[in-house]
Amino acid sequence: MSMLIFPILIYRKAAKLQGLYAMTSKNPKGTVSLRQVSGSARSKKVRVDLGDESSFTTLPALVKVGDASYFLVRALDGYKLLWTVCPHQGGEIMDEGGDLFVCDGHGWQYEKSGGSCPGRPDFRMKAFLVTVQENRIVALVPDE
C-alpha cells in the first residue's frame, strides 16, 4: 500500500466513526435536496376536468385549479398546462399580450407555445399533462 493512500484511509475510518463522513455523503439532517424543492414525478397528481374543448376559443387561457393558476396552451404536441409561478425566483407569470409570457418580478420572458425561456434553455415553466377525452380537456395537476 502506498504511503499516500494509507493516511487517507485512516482519516476516512476515523471520520466515519465520528459521524463526519456520513454527513458529507447524504443531505445533512434538516435540509432538503433539489428534488424535494422542485417536486418529482412521484408527487400525487389529481385528474381535473377543465371543461369542453370548444369553450376554450382563445389560447392561452388562464385556468384556476384550487389556489393554483395555469395557462392552457396548445403546442405542437398538443395541449399543456403551464404553471404561472416563475422558475427563476417564484414571481407570477402574466400574459400581457404579445408572443411571450412575462414574470412580474424581474421581467423574465417565456414562450407561449411551451414555456421555455428564450436564451436560457435551463429555465422553463413547469408543464402538466393535458389530454382530450370525449371532447373534454382533462389535466393531471399536483394535489394541493
In tens, the pLDDT along 60-94 reads 999 999 899 999 999 888 999 999 999 988 999 99
In which residue are the cell numbers 417536486 written? 39
* pLDDT higher than threshold 70 for residue 103: yes
Q: Which sequence spans correspond to the domains of the chain?
A: 5-31, 35-142
CATH superfamily assigned to domain 35-142: Rieske [2Fe-2S] iron-sulphur domain (2.102.10.10)
Lowest mean pLDDT among 39-48, 68-77, 96-105: 39-48
- pLDDT tens for residues 17-26? 444 433 343 4
| pTM across the whole model | 0.69
Residues whose CB falls within 8 Å of the CB of residue 69, separated by 6 or more in sequence, listed in order = 62, 63, 83, 84, 92
Report d(CA 87, CA 108) in Å as an integer: 10
| Contact assessment for residue 56 and residue 137, using Cβ atoms and an 8 Å cutoff | yes
